[in-house]
């Protein structure tokens, strides 16, 4: 489920979604494959399983969906090409 943010938060903004706390650290410029320039939010998220914070990048305006660190992330079936 994607959670859209209406107003872009400032770095330092923290939000809790269920048991996971997310903190926006910064924005990063990013050029998409189609050449369009956009900004990504760099988020620090607490792993749902071990509680360790990890960073993930997400299109601005969308809260990160990943709530587990790489160690505890389940491989997504059918995602490999």
Positions in the binding site for Zn ion (CB under 5 A): 47, 49-50, 69, 71-72
| Least distance (Å) between residue 40 CB and Zn ion | 22
Three-state SS string over 7-52 comes to CCCCCCCEEEECCEEEEEEEEEEEECCCCCEEEEEEEEEECCCCCC
Kindly state the smallest distance separating residue 25's Cβ from Zn ion, in Å.
Answer: 18
Among residues 6 and 70, whose Cβ is nearest to Zn ion?
A: 70
In the complex, minimum distance from the CB of residue 51 to Zn ion, in angstroms, rounded to a whole number:
7
> 19 near 44, Cβ under 8 Å?
no
């Amino acid at each position: 489920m994607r959670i859209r943010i209406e107003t872009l938060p400032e770095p330092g903004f923290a939000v809790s979604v269920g048991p996971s706390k997310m903190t926006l650290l910064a924005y990063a410029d990013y050029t998409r494959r189609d050449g369009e320039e956009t900004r990504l939010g760099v988020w620090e998220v607490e792993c749902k399983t071990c509680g360790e914070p990890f960073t993930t990048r997400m299109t601005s305006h969308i809260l990160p969906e990943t709530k587990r660190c790489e160690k505890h992330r389940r491989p997504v079936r059918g995602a490999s090409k």
